[in-house]
């Protein structure tokens, strides 16, 4: 589960690393991906082709995220807006409320259950949900592809340059505003893919993105805002803390163990494991 939560926090961290804004509506893109996957499996593809649904859900949330960025977020970079972070916070929170209520209006406040991607299986002596195994494998594939894209392709290296020095990359002929739109789309696509992968696990309803969002922001704070390596270390640490706490203490307090780990890390490193303090001038 820690690896699965990484998709949410990675989407937020990637957008922040490029644009220096936080997308507080990331959970709603997770929810949209879950709804798209449910509709595709039940009415069009069938459960046999669930992986095609994941790709389509990611593409839909990418296009929606890019459109939202162009209409709502881009003006803060081309206009005269002093408090960009506050502007982005207000816009994305309003967008989250809009998407959530649209889901209730269109699909009703009902819980939809997609068919299982795979039957239960066993790893050694341990019974394991087939849906969890499929989601884990799918997440690993998505993360591997993302890191290959980021580290090995020209566009990925251009993203790294934009995150390090926005004014400097303009001299190299890079259209920063276009890369902002693509980055926002990629971040929302990661969340949409997570929603599609976890649809049979967390089910599909208007608030299904709340839990992954909370876990995602816990991971961001633990690992350090803007640190992609911190996402993986924090995600695995959070998953282990929740599992061990549920096994050896009490499974009813699984949410407390993650926040306990978060407070412990902040007491030791206030900026997170890999976070760095910003220089004040």
All residues at 6 or more sequence positions from 174 whose CB lies less than 8 Å from its CB, including other chains: 158, 161, 162
pLDDT over 80 (residue 85): no
Residue 52 vs residues 7, 138, 192, 201, 202: alpha-carbon distances, Å: 18, 12, 13, 18, 19
Band of residue 281 on the pLDDT scale cut at 50, 70, 90: very low
pLDDT over 50 (residue 11): yes
Instruction: Give the least confident one: 38-42, 224-228, 253-257.
Output: 224-228
All residues at 6 or more sequence positions from 209 whose CB lies less than 8 Å from its CB, including other chains: 26, 27, 28, 29, 30, 31, 34, 191, 195
What number is the average pLDDT over the span 12-38? 90
Residue 174 burial by Cβ neighbours in a 10 Å radius (0-12, 13-18, 19+): middle
- Percent of the chain whose pLDDT exceeds 70: 95
Residue-wise pLDDT tens digits, 66-82: 999 999 888 877 765 56
pLDDT recorded at residue 186: 94
Q: What phi, psi does 119 have (nearest 5°)?
A: -70, 160
pLDDT over 50 (residue 39): yes
Comparing 104 with 173, which gets the higher pLDDT? 104
In the block, tokens 């993986």 appear at 232
Q: Which residues pair with 128 in a beta bridge?
A: 121
pLDDT over 50 (residue 280): no
Residue-wise pLDDT tens digits, 169-182: 888 888 888 999 99
Residue-wise pLDDT tens digits, 186-222: 999 999 999 999 999 889 999 998 888 888 888 888 8
Can you tell me the distance from the alpha carbon of 22 to that of 265, in angstroms, rounded to the nearest whole number? Answer: 21
pTM above 0.85, yes or no: yes
């Amino acid at each position: 589960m820690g690896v699965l939560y990484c998709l949410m926090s990675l989407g937020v961290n990637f957008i922040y690393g490029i644009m220096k804004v936080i997308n507080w509506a990331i959970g709603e893109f997770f929810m949209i991906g879950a709804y798209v996957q449910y509709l595709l499996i039940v009415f069009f593809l069938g459960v046999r082709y669930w992986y095609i649904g994941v790709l389509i859900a990611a593409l839909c949330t990418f296009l929606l995220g890019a459109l939202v960025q162009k209409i709502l977020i881009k003006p803060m970079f081309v206009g005269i807006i002093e408090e960009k972070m506050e502007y982005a916070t207000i816009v994305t929170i309003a967008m989250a409320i809009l998407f959530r209520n649209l889901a209730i209006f269109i699909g009703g406040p009902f819980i939809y259950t997609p068919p299982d991607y795979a039957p239960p299986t066993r790893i050694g002596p341990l019974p394991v949900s087939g849906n969890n195994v499929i989601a884990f494998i799918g997440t690993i594939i998505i993360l591997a592809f993302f890191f290959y894209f980021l580290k090995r392709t020209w566009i990925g290296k251009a993203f790294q340059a934009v995150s390090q020095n926005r004014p400097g990359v303009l001299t190299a002929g890079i259209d920063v505003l276009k890369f902002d739109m693509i980055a926002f789309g990629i971040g929302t696509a990661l969340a949409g893919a997570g929603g599609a992968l976890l649809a049979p696990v967390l089910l599909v309803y208007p608030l299904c993105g709340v839990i992954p969002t909370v876990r995602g922001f816990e991971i961001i704070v633990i690992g350090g805002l803007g640190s992609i390596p911190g996402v993986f270390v924090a995600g695995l640490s959070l998953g282990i803390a929740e599992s061990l706490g549920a096994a050896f203490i009490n499974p009813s307090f699984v949410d407390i163990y993650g926040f306990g780990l978060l407070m412990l890390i902040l007491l030791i490193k206030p900026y997170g494991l890999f976070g760095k303090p910003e220089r004040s001038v």
